[in-house]
Amino acid sequence: MSVLVTNLGELTTNDPELGTVRDAAIVLDGDRVAWVGHAKRAPQADSRVDGQGRAGLPGWVDSHTHLVFAGDRTAEFGARMAGEPYTAGGIAVTVEATRAADDEQLRAGLRKHVAEAVAQGTTCVETKTGYGLTVEDEVRSARLAAEFADEVTYLGAHLVPSGTDPDAYVDLAAGEMLDRVAPYVQWADVFCETGAFDEAQSRRVLKAAAARGLGLRVHGNQLGPGPGVRLAVELGAASVDHCTHLAQSDVDALAGSDTVATLLPACDLSTRQPLPEARRLLDAGATIALATNCNPGSSYTSSMAYCIATAVLQMRLSVPEAVRAATLGGAQALRRTDVGVLRPGARADLHLLDAPSATHLAYRPGVPLTWAVWRSGAPARPPRG
């Protein structure tokens, strides 16, 4: 069944030829976009939705989340807001709770958080393992994540479990654990940071993952300067995420590569870290993405709109730059060409705002503007009355 969504005041396509279309319409046919253009030239379809002058854009592509978890870290957040520093040590608290949860509890959390994100316009979701840190728990996390997420990342190298020898754990993460998890995931990631995994350990895990045909991602340069960006670029990782503390050499390396700098401003606000220098990265020629880093400890939000408003109001991006980073940028961080863009043949992921332009995402921060969402052509959030 095809649907014509017409009378759109503004349609952001992210397609270099189509650009931003005014007085626009789009036809969704099955799970694909069939046609995009001016409303007066729109073809017939099986059904019709009147956008009444609203703005349309691709669904958000949230390329960095941690949704397979159990437990609560409210107390940690409260302590941090009272002045205690963030050290990433709270990950162990979530690991304990996640291991203790049964499959249905973890499924319920996944279902809830993905539905929450979709209701706000997110139509493509990546999520990671990393709160299991045993072979069986990491396999379980990957298997359950694959039921709900578009892309699944292996993050066995998230933290060395308490009481475990670091070298022995790296052997496991780059060996048996990786082998067992690989059938359920598309990517491998490592937390390359002081207190987690050093450069040599990170390189070993990533090279083992690449040898098994997985794409690479890196958590890097979050808590301070470090080798994460350099390692990601060297190994051809699709994305290096956080990028809070960058030397000029890091910026230059990103600008000269196809590794995306994925920025996670909600996390930096929640941990009271500096915000990433998005303007500096873009001006240097690097590709950036925006993502939520939704997780129970350092960034418990699924709101891409919040990230966009932050990027515009505090990180000196224009609204089109921030929207592009949250859609096409996320797709590039996942090396996908079918999402984050609206053109014939792309996946039918459409987000309509109850506003005449995408500018309202930053002009009216905190206001729920999602009016309708189609995910793979299905009405994930039907138009509001």
Domain 2-58+341-381 sits in CATH 1.20.120.1630: no
Q: Is residue 221 marked as binding?
A: no
Contact 320, 358 (CB under 8 A): yes
Amino acid 264: pLDDT: 98
Best CA proximity match to 264, nearest among 335, 333, 192: 333
Task: Find residue 154's DSSP bridge partners.
Answer: 188
DSSP H or E stretch at residue 357: none
Distance CA 385, CA 371 (A): 9
Residue 222, marked binder: yes
Range list for CATH 2.30.40.10 in the chain: 2-58+341-381
CA 225-89-290 angle, 5° bins: 55
pTM value? 0.97
Of the options 3.40.50.720, 3.40.50.10490, 3.40.190.170, 3.20.20.140, the CATH number for the domain spanning 61-334: 3.20.20.140
Residue 50 has what pLDDT?
A: 98
Say how far apart CA 237 and CA 35 lie, in whole Å.
Answer: 34
pLDDT tens-digit readout, 56-101: 999 999 999 999 999 999 989 998 999 888 766 688 899 999 999 9
- Is residue 357 marked as binding? no
Count the helix, strand and coil residues of the chain and give each as a percent rounded to the nearest 5. Answer: 35, 25, 40
State pLDDT tens for residues 155-170. 999 999 989 999 999 9
Judged by DSSP in three states, 239 sits in strand
Segment 165-189 shows an average pLDDT of 98
Q: Is 293 annotated as a binding residue?
A: yes
Residue 192 pLDDT: 98
Q: State the pLDDT at residue 84.
A: 84
Query: What tens digit of pLDDT does each residue of 2-47 get?
Result: 999 999 999 999 999 999 999 999 999 999 999 999 999 999 999 9
pLDDT, one tens digit per residue, over 99-108 is: 999 999 999 9
CA dihedral in degrees (193, 199, 201, 205; nearest 10)?
90
The angle, 0 to 180 degrees and rounded to 10, between the axes of the packed helices 199-211 and 166-173 is: 20
pLDDT exceeds 80 at position 268:
yes
> pLDDT tens-digit profile of 363-378?
999 999 999 999 999 9
Q: Does the pLDDT at position 278 exceed 80?
A: yes
pLDDT at 385: 63
pLDDT digits (tens, 9 = 90+) for 211-229: 999 999 999 999 999 999 9
Query: Would you say 295 is a known binding-site residue?
Result: yes
* Confidence label for 277 from pLDDT (cuts 50, 70 and 90): very high
Contact 71, 296 (CB under 8 A): yes
Instruction: Give the rounded percent of residues in the chain with a pLDDT score beyond 70.
Output: 99
Torsion of CA 92, 97, 102, 107, to 10 degrees: -80
| Percentage with pLDDT > 90 across the chain | 95
Vertex 269 angle, CA 265 and 272, to 5°: 130
pLDDT of amino acid 157? 98
Q: Which residue spans of the chain are classified as CATH 3.20.20.140? A: 61-334
pLDDT band at 197 (very low <50, low <70, confident <90, very high): very high
Please state, rounded to an integer, the average pLDDT across all residues of the chain: 97
* 113 annotated as belonging to a binding site for a ligand: no
73 labeled binding residue: yes
Q: What is the DSSP string of 152-205?
A: EEEEEET-PPTT--HHHHHHHHTTHHHHHHGGG-SEEEEEESTTSB-HHHHHHH
Which pLDDT score, from 0 to 100, does residue 301 have?
A: 98
Question: What pLDDT is attached to residue 28?
Answer: 98
| The pLDDT value given to residue 224 | 94
